[in-house]
Structure 1
Amino acid sequence: MKFSNSEIIETMEKTGMIPVFNHSDLEVAKNVLDASYNGGVRVFEFTNRGENALEVFRELKAYSSRHKGLILGIGTIFTPKEVEDFIEAGADFIVSPALIPNVAVTSTRNDTLWIPGCGTVTEIFNAREMGAQVIKAFPGNVLGPSFISAVKAVLPSLKIMPTGGVEPTEENLSQWFKAGVTCVGMGSQLFKKDWIKQKKFDALEKQISDALDTIQVIRNTP
């Protein structure tokens, strides 16, 4: 099933969080995907890191079909060839750490949602001119919630997702969502290395569920 760009964006907004994960071991990746889905995640970003990332992603995409409504995208994309390879492998959306024009062109030509990483208002403006519907604020830990607030003041309709430095705590999530983010991308703060190594997937599922619940509480608090 191919999701439309509007369906992907709507699901991103609804859940409020996108896990960002990579692992060279397919079985670990499957377990993490299961824990994420069972915890309430419906949009998941695997990252293109490591020599076998494409191979793992292709298998993970096939495996993900057991989870109804799960949208699986690929991050850390830098070149048109990577765009084409991962779309062929089934990527529902493309995420880049930077604003890369030929990645935008290739993704658009393939009718695939692309989310560029931007760190300035100029980059965000240019990305929107190139057709970006969602912007990745990266690196989030450098930019901070105050950057989001400032950008939203001049671009109030902007859909923006910080990634990097987002923590699954009420205090941190509150800062981001009150600044006006559409959703957050969360990687190392969510997927603790020790938990992955020790296969504590139940603990991971609970943490994900708790984080998603916290986001909804924050959104519903005046």
Structure 2
Amino acid sequence: MQPTKITETIEAGRIIAIFRGDFEGREEDIVSVLVQAGITAVEVTLNSPRALNSIKLLAVRFGSQIAIGAGTVLKPEEVESVADAGGQFIVSPNRDIHVIQATKRRGMASFPGCFTPSEVVEALQAGADAAKLFPAQCLGVSFVKAMRGPLSHARLIPTGGVTPQAARDYLEAGAWAVGVGSELVSTKVLATGGAEDLCQRALAYVAAVRSQREAGANV
């Protein structure tokens, strides 16, 4: 996918499901459930076991349907590895200009981590496609709404502690998408509830997005 197509795919669902940890080779089965529920983007963090292999497998099977990317990317050389594995977007917990530039050189979408308006502006000026607001639970919905005042052009992705209700609230406040980790995908969820629980959780997030869109359309 081209960067524009990647962002369009993410915007269609507005939920980025984050894989962090050891899923013991079950990633394809998990993503299959997420796709059926309506999730359009998956991020595999590089500090997960066999992360690059997971990205490669997911990109081959699902890369034409949803956006597949990498998270916790801290170095330009890691960007290269993700691109070679077929990744389509790069997410970082921090704002590193060199990582952003390497991402754009490889034709991927760039979502660096930011915590202040200055960091968001600097990231966008460096070529980032959106800014990951992290950790979102320390900033809150009011921060997103306030940020959208002077930075109405900025795509913001609150990440961290995002429940379905929080997802709706962030989107209502002007967020472009949200990043969702263990609240949706975790080894604990799979161990206790399995695929059925995972599907219900995914559907709850998809419903939150739909509800917000319908409310916005009626304003």
User: Any idea what the Cα deviations from partners look like across 1:57-81, whole Å, max 9, x if unmatched?
Assistant: 223333435xx51221111100011
Q: Is the 8 A contact 2:168 2:211 kept in 1?
A: no
Between stretches 102-111 and 190-199, larger displacement belongs to 190-199
Taking structure 2 as the reference length, what is the TM-score of the superposition?
0.91
Answer yes or no: is 1:201 the counterpart of 2:195.
yes
Deviation at 1:12, TM superposition (A): 1.6
Distance (Å, rounded) in 1 between the aligned partners of 2:14 and 2:48: 28
Which residue in the other structure is 1:100 paired with? 96
Deviation at 1:173, TM superposition (A): 2.6
Between stretches 210-219 and 87-96, larger displacement belongs to 210-219
User: Any idea what the Cα deviations from partners look like across 1:72-117, whole Å, max 9, x if unmatched?
Assistant: 1111100011100110000011111110111011111112111110
Deviation at 1:28, TM superposition (A): 2.1
Which residue in the other structure is 1:151 paired with? 147
Structure 1 stretches of 5 or more lacking a match? none
Q: Is the 8 A contact 1:24 1:56 kept in 2?
A: no
Deviation at 1:24, TM superposition (A): 2.7
Q: How many residues align?
A: 216
Q: CA RMSD in A?
A: 1.7
Between stretches 150-159 and 56-65, larger displacement belongs to 56-65
Q: Is the 8 A contact 2:19 2:186 kept in 1?
A: no
Which secondary structure does the structure 1 equivalent of 2:200 belong to? helix
Answer yes or no: is 1:24 the counterpart of 2:22.
yes
Q: Is the 8 A contact 2:44 2:54 kept in 1?
A: no
Q: Which of the numbers 42, 52, 59 marks the counterpart of 2:50?
A: 52
Distance (Å, rounded) in 2 between the aligned partners of 1:76 and 1:51: 13
Which secondary structure does the structure 2 equivalent of 1:7 belong to? helix
Distance (Å, rounded) in 2 between the aligned partners of 1:191 and 1:104: 26
Distance (Å, rounded) in 2 between the aligned partners of 1:11 and 1:64: 12
Which residue in the other structure is 2:182 paired with? 188
Which secondary structure does the structure 1 equivalent of 2:42 belong to? strand
Taking only the aligned residue pairs, the percentage that are identical comes to: 28
What is the identity, as a one-letter code, of the residue corresponding to 1:93? Answer: F
Which secondary structure does the structure 2 equivalent of 1:220 belong to? helix
Distance (Å, rounded) in 2 between the aligned partners of 1:4 and 1:38: 23
Deviation at 1:51, TM superposition (A): 4.6
Structure 2 CA distance for partners of 1:11 and 1:103, relative to 1, 3 Å:
same
Deviation at 1:219, TM superposition (A): 2.0
Structure 2 CA distance for partners of 1:111 and 1:193, relative to 1, 3 Å:
closer
Between stretches 187-196 and 136-145, larger displacement belongs to 187-196
Structure 2 CA distance for partners of 1:124 and 1:209, relative to 1, 3 Å:
same
Deviation at 1:194, TM superposition (A): 3.0
Distance (Å, rounded) in 2 between the aligned partners of 1:184 and 1:79: 23
Q: Is the 8 A contact 1:160 1:183 kept in 2?
A: yes
Q: Is the 8 A contact 2:21 2:49 kept in 1?
A: no
Distance (Å, rounded) in 1 between the aligned partners of 2:14 and 2:53: 28
What is the identity, as a one-letter code, of the residue corresponding to 1:206? Answer: Q
